[in-house]
Amino acid sequence: MNYKELRNKYIQFFESKGHKNIRPASLIPENDPTVLFTTAGMHPLVPYLTGQLHPEGKRLVNFQKCIRTGDIEDVGDASHLTFFEMLGNWSLGDYFKKEAISWSFEFLTAILGFKTSQLHITVFEGDNDAPRDEESAGIWEALGIPKNHIHYKPKEDNWWGPAGKTGPCGPDTEMFIDTGKEACSKTCSPGCRCGKFIEIWNDVFMQYNKNDDGTFSRLSQQNVDTGMGIERTVAMLTGKKTVYETESFTEIIAKIEELSGKKYGESDWVTHAIRVIADHTRTATFIIGDERGIPPSNVGSGYVLRRLIRRAVRYGMKIGINKTFISEISKVVIDLMGEFYPELIQNKARILDELEKEETKFESTLQHGMNEFNKVADKLLENNQNTISGRLAFKLYDTYGFPLELTKELAVEKKLSLDEDGFHKEFEKHKELSRTAQQQNFKGGLADHSEETTKLHTATHLLHTSLRKILGDHVQQKGSNITVERLRFDFTHNDKIDDETLKKVENMVNEQIKKDMPITMQVMTLEEAKKKGALAFFSDKYEENVKVYTVGDFSMEVCGGPHVERTGVLGKFIIQKEQSSSAGVRRIKAILVKE
Ligand code: SER
């Protein structure tokens, strides 16, 4: 079975159990500048796990592109990918453990053909926050999983979420395949990293909310959130040792072999380098080619992208590729995956262009690094010193992308020694800093469907309609980005908007707030919504059924929400800035203040 068949079978199976197939979401979370990437199918569904109504109902299924970078320097082993695809099915306050587990079992055995004897299951052992999950264990046992294949594990292993600091979470039950490899020790069990057991699927029972103070409270509804890794499952189905040997990678690796003249498997370091190049190029292609794609930069997700491209280039040099090559590999990725992610085909020119630009830029950065190294080395030698400091080695690494090995080689050539401990100390310091920064990011991130952002969301609808009433119907939303502090709204309009007109827009929004109008929501088909006159400018992104939010008699717009109940709570609306965003698109930044 290949990844295409697995994807189709999964979707069909859950459709036959009453699930609605929803589109994969963007890799760059919308309205959430504080989270770098979508890391699981549940991310875009957070509001619906906490009680909002999903327009497609209570049972959903999809495949989702995901990125988990963690520490990029660790990537390249046999089982970790920075980009992967996740199959998922969800119950939003509908079915719970019995159905979820029974369907997982049925899909694994009857549809995929795994034998019961190959399956190992883990369940939550219980603690002060939530009880031991004997219910799940009992369901597995009743389905025929022997007791000695069911393992109780603590929170580190069998609890999922919240994705940020607070939010929906719960105990999970994970499904592992026994690869048949010999156990590494007497205590080897699912979760051990030796490679005997490979996790392929996770059913999370999201019935808790983690609160700000670290306590857990019950959610208003019981949800199921599941995630199956496509690449790993295909590897297990086809008897491959690693995800890199599956069909998702065959052609990508063949291209790297062709460009480098090296063979996957010829030696450990070549295999490792080829994996890094394959993985990173795939991820970079998806980040740039996303519907909300971004270019490499020095901040946030753009910085992760830059590091991925540069690391791939570096490994390419290592295996002897001596020309610009990343875009060549990217073309193979686009050909392979464009069928499922048409945005890659639509954005092909942009993807290839950005990759080529970044690769060329990196080559010149490396040259600068080389000059910097030579300068410092010559000075040291002049002063009869002989050690390259950890700090310089780290600067070469961080600013110029020099791996430690390269600095070491250069040092040897100059007959200098290198303070490796010092380098590692700097490295750890830096890691700690970026970890803290990331945690900060998460804090304001996913869990943030706060009062402030909800208000700004409603204000955005009022602004959109006001702009159309004042400037004309050519105004169409092009983008919206909301943080706790402000809204940012991009829309089609050619010219700068003068202060007087901006004031009119601002006044119109404030009048609607004063009227304290109710906001109501209805679910209908996109066609019905358009017939009723609802604004809907992202047609290709909507599902069949949509939510339509109506603000009094003023505005009607297709939107996922959330929104406040009455406009009166918004306070005072103030436009802070009006500027150009791109050709024919203007941008307004605005805030709400308490009256
Ligand atoms: N959110 C869970 C996971 O990522 C299930 O999808 O494993």
Mean pLDDT of 167-180: 95
Phi and psi for 489 in degrees, rounded to 5? -130, 125
Q: Concatenated DSSP letters for 22-74?
A: -PPPPSS-TT-TT--S--STTGGGHHHHTTPPPTT-SEEEEEEEEE--SSGGG
Mean pLDDT of 267-289: 96
Average pLDDT, the chain: 90
Q: How confident is the model at residue 571 (pLDDT cuts 50, 70, 90)?
A: very high
pLDDT score of 168 more than 60:
yes
Cα angle at 133 between 132 and 139, to 5 degrees? Answer: 150
Rounded to the nearest angstrom, the distance between the alpha carbon of 492 and the centre of ligand 1 is 38
Looking at residue 43, what is its pLDDT?
Answer: 86
Rounded to the nearest angstrom, the distance between the alpha carbon of 165 and the centre of ligand 1 is 16
pLDDT score of 77 more than 80:
no
Nearest CA to ligand 1 atom 4: 40
Residues 6+ apart with CB under 8 A from 257: 263, 264, 274
Of the candidates 322, 530, 565, the one whose C-alpha atom is nearest the C-alpha of residue 451 is 565
Domains belonging to the chain, first-starting first, are: 3-240 (3.30.930.10), 246-429 (no CATH), 451-593 (3.30.980.10)
Phi and psi for 232 in degrees, rounded to 5? -65, -40
How many alpha carbons lie under 13 Å from residue 160 in its C-beta half-sphere? 22
Longest CA–CA separation in the chain, Å:
82
- Percent of the chain topping pLDDT 70: 95
Of the candidates 109, 220, 221, the one whose C-alpha atom is nearest the C-alpha of residue 175 is 109
For residue range 280-305, list pLDDT tens digits in order: 999 999 999 999 999 998 777 888 89
Cα angle at 283 between 282 and 284, to 5 degrees? Answer: 95
Helices (H), 229-347: 230-237, 247-260, 268-289, 300-318, 326-337, 342-346
Which pair of structure tokens corresponds to residue 154?
């603590």
Task: Out of 373-377, 558-562, 586-590, 591-595, give the one with best mean pLDDT.
Answer: 586-590
Rounded to the nearest angstrom, the distance between the alpha carbon of 345 and the centre of ligand 1 is 28
- Partners of residue 458 on adjacent β-strands: none
Looking at residue 201, what is its pLDDT?
Answer: 98
Among 67-71, 357-361, 412-416, 563-567, which is the least confidently predicted range?
67-71
Rounded to the nearest angstrom, the distance between the alpha carbon of 262 and the centre of ligand 1 is 37
Ligand 1 mutation pick, 42, 84, 176, max ligand atoms within 8 A of CB? 42
Mean pLDDT of 138-147: 98
pLDDT score of 585 more than 70:
yes
- Interatomic CA distance for residues 111 and 6, integer angstroms: 10
Residue 452's alpha-carbon distances to 250, 396, 449, in angstroms, are: 48, 43, 8
Looking at residue 444, what is its pLDDT?
Answer: 35
- Interatomic CA distance for residues 298 and 293, integer angstroms: 15
For ligand 1, residues with CB inside 6 Å are 40-42, 88, 160, 202, 204, 225-227
Rounded to the nearest angstrom, the distance between the alpha carbon of 523 and the centre of ligand 1 is 28
Question: What count of residues does the chain have?
Answer: 595
Residues 6+ apart with CB under 8 A from 526: 536, 539, 542, 544, 545, 546, 558
Provide the 3-class DSSP secondary structure of residue 497.
coil
DSSP, res 582? E
Q: Are 441 and 411 in contact (CB under 8 A)?
A: no
Ligand 1 mutation pick, 226, 230, 446, max ligand atoms within 8 A of CB? 226
- Interatomic CA distance for residues 483 and 454, integer angstroms: 10
Q: How confident is the model at residue 258 (pLDDT cuts 50, 70, 90)?
A: very high
Residue type for 99, please? E
Phi and psi for 555 in degrees, rounded to 5? -140, 150
Among 135-149, 392-406, 459-473, which is the least confidently predicted range?
392-406
Helices (H) and strands (E) in the chain — how many of each?
18, 18
The percent helix, strand, coil of the chain (3-state, each to 5) is 45, 20, 30
Which pair of structure tokens corresponds to residue 424?
């590692």
Looking at residue 4, what is its pLDDT?
Answer: 93
- Interatomic CA distance for residues 293 and 410, integer angstroms: 37
- Interatomic CA distance for residues 509 and 67, integer angstroms: 39
Q: How confident is the model at residue 244 (pLDDT cuts 50, 70, 90)?
A: very high
Residue 216's alpha-carbon distances to 168, 201, 230, 544, in angstroms, are: 9, 25, 32, 35
Among 146-150, 214-218, 376-380, 402-406, which is the least confidently predicted range?
402-406
Q: Are 400 and 364 in contact (CB under 8 A)?
A: no
For residue range 522-559, list pLDDT tens digits in order: 888 888 998 999 998 875 567 778 889 999 999 999 98
Mean pLDDT of 5-22: 98
Looking at residue 442, what is its pLDDT?
Answer: 41
Q: Are 168 and 213 in contact (CB under 8 A)?
A: no
Looking at residue 336, what is its pLDDT?
Answer: 96
Ligand 1, atom nearest to 88 Cα? 6
Which pair of structure tokens corresponds to residue 238?
């086809």
- Interatomic CA distance for residues 456 and 535, integer angstroms: 18
pLDDT score of 162 more than 90:
no
Of the candidates 25, 102, 14, the one whose C-alpha atom is nearest the C-alpha of residue 58 is 14
Q: Are 123 and 152 in contact (CB under 8 A)?
A: yes
Rounded to the nearest angstrom, the distance between the alpha carbon of 226 and the centre of ligand 1 is 6
Report the 10 Å Cβ neighbour count for 93.
17
pLDDT score of 159 more than 50:
yes
Helices (H), 444-516: 451-471, 499-514
287 vs 368, higher pLDDT: 287
Q: How confident is the model at residue 434 (pLDDT cuts 50, 70, 90)?
A: low
Ligand 1, atom nearest to 161 Cα? 1
User: For the chain, first and last CA: distance in Å?
Assistant: 62
- Partners of residue 153 on adjacent β-strands: 124
For residue range 344-353, list pLDDT tens digits in order: 999 999 999 9
For residue range 486-527, list pLDDT tens digits in order: 999 999 999 999 999 999 999 999 999 999 999 998 888 888
For residue range 302-324, list pLDDT tens digits in order: 888 998 998 899 899 889 998 99
Report the 10 Å Cβ neighbour count for 436.
10
- Interatomic CA distance for residues 173 and 153, integer angstroms: 10
Looking at residue 449, what is its pLDDT?
Answer: 63
Residue type for 203, please? D
Looking at residue 443, what is its pLDDT?
Answer: 38
Among 260-264, 397-401, 470-474, which is the least confidently predicted range?
397-401
Which pair of structure tokens corresponds to residue 520?
């109501």
Nearest CA to ligand 1 atom 2: 227
Task: Out of 72-86, 219-233, 364-378, give the one with best mean pLDDT.
Answer: 219-233
- Percent of the chain topping pLDDT 90: 67
Of the candidates 284, 279, 290, 318, the one whose C-alpha atom is nearest the C-alpha of residue 304 is 284
Q: How confident is the model at residue 109 (pLDDT cuts 50, 70, 90)?
A: very high
Which pair of structure tokens corresponds to residue 501?
């007109």
Phi and psi for 395 in degrees, rounded to 5? -65, -40
206 vs 364, higher pLDDT: 206
Ligand 1 mutation pick, 223, 225, 232, max ligand atoms within 8 A of CB? 225
- Interatomic CA distance for residues 7 and 21, integer angstroms: 12
Mean pLDDT of 391-416: 84
pLDDT score of 33 more than 70:
no
Rounded to the nearest angstrom, the distance between the alpha carbon of 227 and the centre of ligand 1 is 5
Q: How confident is the model at residue 446 (pLDDT cuts 50, 70, 90)?
A: very low
Phi and psi for 28 in degrees, rounded to 5? -105, 110
Sign of CA dihedral 304, 306, 312, 317: negative
pLDDT score of 439 more than 80:
no
